[in-house]
Amino acid sequence: MEKKAIYEGKAKIMYTTDDPDVLLVYYKDDATAGNGAKKGTIENKGIMNNKMSAFFFDLLAKEGIKHHYISMPSDREMLVKKLEIVPLEVIIRNVAAGSLAKRLGLKEGTPMSCPVIEFCYKSDELGDPMVNRYHIRAMKLATDEEMETIESMSLKINDILTKFLKEKNVDLIDFKLEFGRDKNGDIILGDEISPDNCRFWDSTTHEKLDKDRFRRDLGNVEDAYKEMLHRLTGESFK
Ligand code: ADP
Ligand code: TMP
């Protein structure tokens, strides 16, 4: 397969394939926090995030969510439908944590009485500033119709993941999604779903099983990723 790197991001490299509508995603072990201010590696993160993302995409497909995932040709690689990414980070929050807890003066762990959706404009130079539906319309980042689709898909994904994770004794605190337009112009789910972009807390102990262990120097970072992979798929990562 002819492959050419078209983009190297903080966590993944995107390659072209023989099919112009398909990209190959390579998941790296690199970890960053604070928009690149803190850098490190999490051993085997790329393999574990690839597997967890594939698992979540399959789970969502069963519930009718359209996504970019096609197949997993190797442990670190995923074939996906090429999308025109809507330059927004869509954040869904069930419990106050991280920047929301700080911004609104809420204690981390305070449940929100309904899911909260936030949008950040994807721009490393600007530090991904938060935007609302008016900014999105004025800057023509997405149409109103597309935003209705993105919001309703995000809430449905939240319902599916929250229920599924509860059975694994995990609370879905918050998470970040990215959407894009496929070759037909339809909005579908892209990027990844993993402990890099979700907050997972053990329901009983409230232990953090996600990238906050790296962001906040809590230790046992790899173990948290292994534990999530095991709870989701039953696989024990050596
Ligand atoms: P970042 O760009 O934030 O450093 P990554 O290292 O995860 O993030 O890079 C992956 C890039 O690929 C992101 O910019 C993401 O928006 C983009 N992307 C994700 N899925 C697709 C897709 N199906 N088609 C095109 N681009 C995608
Ligand atoms: P935050 O509390 O730092 O705003 O993060 C909310 C959620 O979004 C959390 O699960 C981590 C995820 N996230 C990303 O995946 N990428 C980002 O750039 C940011 C800021 C958050």
For range 25-35, the mean pLDDT: 95
Distance from the CA of 53 to the center of ligand 1, in angstroms? Answer: 13
Q: What's the token pair of residue 43?
A: 């051993």
Predicted local distance difference test score (pLDDT) of residue 198: 98
Residue 3 has pLDDT above 90, yes or no: no
The span from the CA of 19 to the CA of 88, in Å, is: 26
pTM of the model: 0.98
Ligand 1 centre to CA of 8 (Å) is 9
Amino acid 36: pLDDT: 83
Average pLDDT over residues 68-73: 98
Could you say which ligand is closest to the alpha carbon of residue 46? Answer: 1
Q: Which two tokens stand for residue 232?
A: 């989701």
Average pLDDT over residues 209-232: 98
Measured from the Cβ of residue 204, the count of other Cβ atoms closer than 10 Å reads 9
Per the structure block, which two tokens stand in for 227? Answer: 């534990």
Average pLDDT across the chain, whole number = 97
Question: Position 81: which residue type?
Answer: K
Ligand 2 center–CA 22 separation, angstroms: 27
Distance CA 34, CA 39 (A): 9
Stretch 122-140: mean pLDDT: 97
pLDDT of residue 1: 63
In whole angstroms, what is the distance from residue 175 CA to residue 199 CA?
6
pLDDT tens column, 171-220: 999 999 999 999 999 999 999 999 999 999 999 999 999 999 999 999 99
Residue 237 has pLDDT above 90, yes or no: no
Beta strands in the chain (DSSP E): 5-8, 12-16, 22-27, 30-33, 38-41, 69-74, 77-81, 84-85, 88-95, 111-121, 130-131, 170-177, 179-181, 187-189, 198-202
**Percentage of the chain surpassing pLDDT 70?**
99
Ligand 1 pocket: which of 178, 186, 191 to mutate (most atoms <8 Å of CB)?
191
Yes or no: say if 65 and 189 are a contact pair by the CB < 8 Å rule.
Answer: yes
Q: Is the CB of 178 under 6 A from ligand 1?
A: yes
Q: Give residue 238's pLDDT band: very low, low, confident or very high (50, 70, 90).
A: confident
> Is 106 in contact with 73 (CB distance < 8 Å)?
no
Residues 63-91: what's their mean pLDDT? Answer: 98
Best residue for ligand 2 mutational test, from 174, 194, 200 (most atoms within 8 Å of Cβ): 174
Residue 75, helix vs strand vs coil: coil
In the beta sheet, which residues pair with residue 81?
22
Angle of helix 144-167 versus helix 45-62 axis, rounded to 10:
110
Q: What is the pLDDT of residue 96?
A: 98
Query: Which amino acid belongs to residue 40?
Result: G
Please give the average per-residue pLDDT across 96-118, as a whole number. Answer: 98
15 residue type, one letter? Y
